[in-house]
A = this chain, B = another copy of it.
Amino acid sequence: MTMLRTANMDELPAHGLLTRLAASPPDLSAQGTLTPERISSMTVDNASFRLIYGCERVTPEVIDALQALAGQAKAVEKFVAMKSGEVINRIEGFESENRQVLHTACRDLFGDPPCHREASQAAADELEKLAAFLNALENKEICGPDGAPFTTLVNIGIGGSDLGPRAVYHALAPFRVPGRTVRFVANVDPDDAAGVFADLDLKHTLVNVVSKSGTTLETLTNEALARGLFTAAGLVPERHFIAVTGKGSPMDNPDRYLASFHMFDYVGGRYSVSSMVGGVSLSFGLGTDNFRAFLKGANRIDRAAENPSLRENIPLMMAMLGIWNRNYLGHSTLAVIPYSELLSLFPAHLQQCDMESNGKSVNVRGERLSYETGPVLWGQAGTNGQHAFFQLLHQGTTVAPVEFIGFRQNSLDLDRRIEATTSREKLLANLLAQSLALAAGKRDDNPNKDFPGNRPSLILVADRLDPETMGELLAIYENKIAFQGFVWNINSFDQEGVQLGKKLANTILAALSGREKPGPLSGAMMEAAGI
């Protein structure tokens, strides 16, 4: 297989054109820019989702230029190569992880010939192992010491082994298996585990320890804390603890666990929700069928994302609009605001997925880039955000592009018509109104009530948040992030930037344990902090 080499983004022919276009981008607040025709024509449909991008600061000419840029960067070809197993997690000429990137294979299980047969087969095998384990729970072949079923699963993991499964479990609350609960412990702060374990019935609790490397400090520490609690309660941890880890990791030790499931080195932590990392807790909490529907939704988008035309490819269009905002209009942050309480944890997952992937400064050959890469991604659920930070979005000195997400129907069945509209209608009306208000603005003689407008946003909308659309939404963002990395010519799949802090923490820990004298700076910090 040959690597698809491309030049840096600023060396591609379309870059010059985009730079020229960015010198006079459309003013959305100007009379005649924002028209009904514009809004209805600037949409893309994939699977259950519609993307509405008429409130971005683009013209058809800008979209054409972004299409050219995506083509010249071979964004879709690289995506297809990724799905086919090319070793793209690497830095040419330097020591690097040197791995394939095959999270998409975990969901490439639905009829069509898989892009990477072995990886999809391995995923199918783990799913089968998991189904057998869940079956044994169901039949009470595996159960608490008193013969009663396990009702709670505590997921111990951090980062990629926590944020995605936690966000999806929260989002799909209406689909939970009755009588079962999943809880999450991530932080090495012992107050986290203490809070979660305080009110648990340990006898009927499974603990799922998740770490690809099997060496994550926080996770091993919390596992040890948790094992201590089980032992103190007269229970045998090996009958309650299960593991998700990489083959051959220090945690890959069946003697210590009731069951073990594998993830593979070609699935990055932040892309691992569709692997066993999400699979175990989500299948326990939501049921096997719902987890499969989730995978199926993701797979639908993975296929749609192969379309080279951004006008027909939501992830690619969002990627290129993001690059337009970031590199050509100069906006350094991105707000993701789901108008859905159930998606309230989703921005934190995306924050990881995006910022850990694309917060990079060198290209795939290790050369320092002269343009910006990943933005600071932040956000909260709407309408809550309207009563929090929207003041700055509308009238602050910094423009922050927004991605809104909404659903036409409720997930839970509580709604009433109050003053002639339902709560759902109120929610959606606010979503649309915010996007329009940011774009159109409104002049006022009172400068404090003046809205400059011309602030970009887009809207993603589907009928209903359910396992399948949740899978679609996740894959839209995963693929968007990958496309952006391809165009920026970076490796979106490693995370060397987290190493230095870990190393320094270890030297401070060595000092705290009395094993070593701290370095002069660490010592001064410890003294200043009084520890």
Contacts and interface: CB of A to CB of B under 8 A. Distances in A.
A240 B496 CA distance: 55
Contacts of A384: 158-159, 162-163, 186-187
A334 to B, nearest CB: 10
B387 A423 contact: no
A225 B39 contact: no
Interface stretch (A16-24, A145-153, A254-262, A506-514): A506-514
Interface string A516-531: 0000111111111111
Contact of A398 (B162, B372, B441, B530): B372
Contacts of A351: 378, 380, 388-389
A389 B348 CA distance: 9
Nearest to A342: B191
A432 B525 contact: yes
Contact of A448 (B94, B406, B408, B507): B94
Contact of A508 (B39, B225, B416, B433): B433
A408 B530 CA distance: 8
A224 B418 contact: yes
Interface in A419-467: 419-430, 432-437, 440-442, 446-452, 459, 461
Nearest to A220: B418
A411 B340 contact: no
Interface stretch (A60-68, A134-142, A290-298, A356-364): A356-364
Contacts of A118: none
Nearest to A525: B432
A333 interface: yes
Interface residues of A, number: 164
A495 interface: yes
Contact of A423 (B221, B342, B425): B221
A449 B434 CA distance: 42
B501 A447 contact: no
Contacts of A450: 362
Interface in A361-411: 361-362, 366-369, 371-378, 380-384, 386-398, 400, 406, 408, 410-411
Interface in A471-517: 491, 494-509, 512-515
A396 B427 contact: no
Residue from A193, A416, A508, A527 with most neighbouring chain B CB atoms (10 Å): A508
A394 B498 contact: yes
B333 A449 contact: no
Say how many copies of this protein the assembly contains.
2
A43 interface: yes
A355 interface: yes
B505 A195 contact: no
Contacts of A495: 391
A304 interface: no
Contacts of A527: 40
B448 A524 contact: no
Contact of A429 (B190, B499, B508): B508
Given A396-B361, A437-B500, A509-B421, A163 B426 contact: no
A359 B393 contact: yes
A174 B416 CA distance: 37
Contacts of A386: 159, 498, 501-502
A188 interface: yes
Given A225-B416, A497-B395, A500-B441, A355 B389 contact: yes
A430 B422 CA distance: 48
A190 to B, nearest CB: 4
A386 B340 CA distance: 27
A384 to B, nearest CB: 5
A402 B246 CA distance: 33
Contacts of A374: 392, 396-397
The 6 A-B residue pairs whose C-beta atoms are closest, nearest first, are A359-B392, A159-B387, A359-B396, A36-B524, A420-B513, A395-B497
7 contacts: A34-B521, A159-B386, A190-B414, A190-B424, A352-B388, A361-B452, A432-B526
